[in-house]
Structure 1
Amino acid sequence: MRAFTFERAPTPAAAALSMQQHPGARFIAGGTNLLDLMKLDIERPTHLIDVNRLGLDRIEALPDGGLKIGALVRNSDLAADPRVRREHPLLSRALLSGASAQLRNKATTAGNLLQRTRCFYFYDTTKPCNKRTPGSGCAAMAGFNRIHAILGASAQCIAVHSSDMAVALRALDAQVETVSASGAARRIPIAELHRLPGDTPEIETVLAPDELITGVTLPAPLGGTQRYRKVRDRASYAFALVSVAAVVVRDGRMVTGVRLAFGGLAAKPWRNEEAERRLIGTDGGTRARDAVADVLIDDARGHGHNDFKIPLLRRTLHATLAQAIAETI
């Protein structure tokens, strides 16, 4: 076991300041990912900052009809909240499709967003991994890459982001609120939070080293029908091979609004607004859904074992949109 020091931060700003003052520190709340990584000697924090007592565990209504979700709201509480189930059922369904009940009782909103990839080679310290050890190579490229990325990858990394919640938040146009050691607050669109690997796969978000997530805000509900479909190797306790979060609004027979986000495809929740536009003004029939899928898979590239994800994405999109459109009034 590697030695580390520990403190309980009294305020968000104090937690961020402590992070600045302790190089190699990590924030810890539920610890459902960090503790596993420490046991495997992948994460080696020299100092842990407990943020559980910062009062960031509430879900609050906003004047514009949206919701503010504290960074420490547990996944199970968020999924069960009546306002989330009524106004943002997509988020509730995504949360309930992830992990186990025991993990959802501990995992937090911020921790879910910041969880590390579940790439086999990232977790195996005997194998090269640019995300774990920059410049060492990517074993997944020529290895068993069934769960890996088909969009947004690079020659340095083909790992995917594993969060179901983040996919739902991307479809709902959420924003992430943070505070830094100086006390400065900022709001980051969920679309900009996670980075694609490029040449620096070890840098996974746009957060500064001393920046603490304090909450997530959701805009007022868009209306229409929301659906979340997750395709995985097992019926539960498995990460997505492909997941689709869909919000569809119709006026009569015509689709007037749509948001689509995808998981299991890239190092961040994937969204293609050009693909969404292909559905607007149509009846959402087979031809329109094919046009959406064509745009999505235009840049898709398999790496051998995960080639099946490309046709699987098309079929999953078709099924999710067909259900959402049929149920939209």
Structure 2
Amino acid sequence: MREFAYVRAADVAEAVELAGPQVRYLAGGTNLFDLMREEVERPERVVDISRLPLSAIEDLPDGGLRLGALARNAQVAADDRVRRRYPVLGRALLQSASPQLRNRATVGGNLLQRTRCRYFYDLGAACNKREPGAGCDALGGFNRTHAILGASPSCVAVHPSDMCVALAALDATVNLTGPDGERSVPVTEFHLLPGETPQAETVLRAGELVTSVDLPTEQRWRGDYVKVRDRASFAFALVSAAVLVRVEHGRTAAVRIALGGVAHKPWRAYAAEELLIGAAADEAVFGRAAEEAVAGARPLEHNAFKAELARRLVRRTLIELAGRS
């Protein structure tokens, strides 16, 4: 690990003031330390924000819930309001990482965690995300875990978060503070597809800090988060799905579907949702929606199985949730 300066911010304003091109914020450190140890990240200064008062989980006047950026993943998963009103989020968090990591990892850090693509971590491999213009060795390499949706010739890495897939299905909002003041961004617009600039992973502006995430007013959803991985714990998703559905009088009145492990960002299956609204809540329609959820998939040499896996996961989850309704 290379030498770096360490500064502890006294408040949000000071943290923003200390930010810069070669500066990284430190919260739980569960991803940043790995990146620094492998010399993928080489910050000149690390600003410790872990003691800022941003860890509360608070009810909002409109009936929603605000998660402080420094709230620990384990804390959010165990919160009774999350478990009752947003169980899809609690289930996603409990299927992420290990208990030890969930006790350290934060909401803000989870939003900003970087891909686990082996070529991104290998300094001897070509990676446009790590070094723009270098190329992408994953395209012709072992790409079993890589993207089938929304990728580009510049990058086929996937976003690793479980939490963010659930937040995408919930239509959560990310609150930011930066040199130009405060602003809010829908979580579905927070992460970017790679295009020709895969090094730009989010819409964060220079110096901006994630301060909280807002969950919308509770609705009468049936929801679940389902994750398929190579082993039962401490593994990233090959494919995951966060599904919310409300069935009324045998028809789908409302639905949200977000996929993980398949794209550079949590992937909302908007076309599948549109197909389901107002349609009969039966297996035939759910099967067509599952096909639509991965329409346009472009598998690589080693990951064609992901498209079929995603189809089956979406179809099965919709059937199970409709049955509960």
Instruction: Please state which band the TM-score falls in when normalised by the shorter chain.
Output: over 0.9
Q: Structure 1 unaligned runs (5+)?
A: none
- What is the distance in 1 between the residues matched to 2:77 and 2:151? 31
Map of 1:11-50 to 2, 5 A cutoff?
A: 11-20=11-20, 23-50=21-48
Find the counterpart in structure 1 of residue 177 from structure 2: 179
- What is the distance in 1 between the residues matched to 2:294 and 2:48? 42
- What is the distance in 2 between the residues matched to 1:136 and 1:285? 48
1:53-96 alpha-carbon deviations (Å, 9 max, x no partner): 11000000011110010000000000000000000000000000
TM-score, normalised to structure 2, is 0.98
- What is the distance in 2 between the residues matched to 1:11 and 1:146? 43
Pair 1:245 & 2:257 matched: no
Among 307, 310, 313, the residue aligned to 1:313 = 310
SS of residue paired to 1:233: coil
TM-score, normalised to structure 1, is 0.97
What code does the residue aligned with 2:251 have? M
- What is the distance in 2 between the residues matched to 1:180 and 1:209? 8
Shift of 1:252: 2.4
Spell out structure 1 runs of 4+ moving beyond 4 A. Answer: none
Find the counterpart in structure 1 of residue 74 from structure 2: 76
SS of residue paired to 1:278: helix
Shift of 1:28: 0.3
Among 315, 320, 323, the residue aligned to 1:323 = 320
Shift of 1:277: 1.6
1:203-259 alpha-carbon deviations (Å, 9 max, x no partner): 100101200000000111121211110011111111011111011111121110101
Find the counterpart in structure 2 of residue 263 from structure 1: 260
Cα pair 2:289 2:315 within 8 Å, conserved: no
SS of residue paired to 1:258: strand
Find the counterpart in structure 2 of residue 54 from structure 1: 52
- What is the distance in 2 between the residues matched to 1:241 and 1:110? 23
What code does the residue aligned with 1:135 have? G
Map of 1:180-219 to 2, 5 A cutoff?
A: 180-182=178-180, 184-219=181-216
1:116-158 alpha-carbon deviations (Å, 9 max, x no partner): 0000111111111110111111011010101000000000000
Map of 1:41-190 to 2, 5 A cutoff?
A: 41-182=39-180, 184-190=181-187
Cα pair 1:160 1:267 within 8 Å, conserved: yes
What code does the residue aligned with 1:211 have? E
Cα pair 2:247 2:281 within 8 Å, conserved: no
SS of residue paired to 1:160: coil
Shift of 1:311: 0.8
SS of residue paired to 1:324: helix
SS of residue paired to 2:268: coil
RMSD: 0.9
SS of residue paired to 1:106: coil
Cα pair 2:259 2:269 within 8 Å, conserved: no
- What is the distance in 2 between the residues matched to 1:108 and 1:134? 28
- What is the distance in 1 between the residues matched to 2:175 and 2:90? 20
Shift of 1:283: 2.9
- What is the distance in 2 between the residues matched to 1:272 and 1:222? 20
Find the counterpart in structure 2 of residue 220 from structure 1: 217
Shift of 1:295: 1.8
What code does the residue aligned with 2:58 have? E
Find the counterpart in structure 1 of residue 278 from structure 2: 281
SS of residue paired to 1:310: helix
SS of residue paired to 1:234: coil
Cα pair 1:174 1:217 within 8 Å, conserved: yes
Aligned length: 325
What code does the residue aligned with 1:5 have? A
Cα pair 2:239 2:309 within 8 Å, conserved: yes
What code does the residue aligned with 1:327 have? R
- What is the distance in 1 between the residues matched to 2:231 and 2:269? 28
Shift of 1:324: 0.9
Cα pair 1:14 1:181 within 8 Å, conserved: no
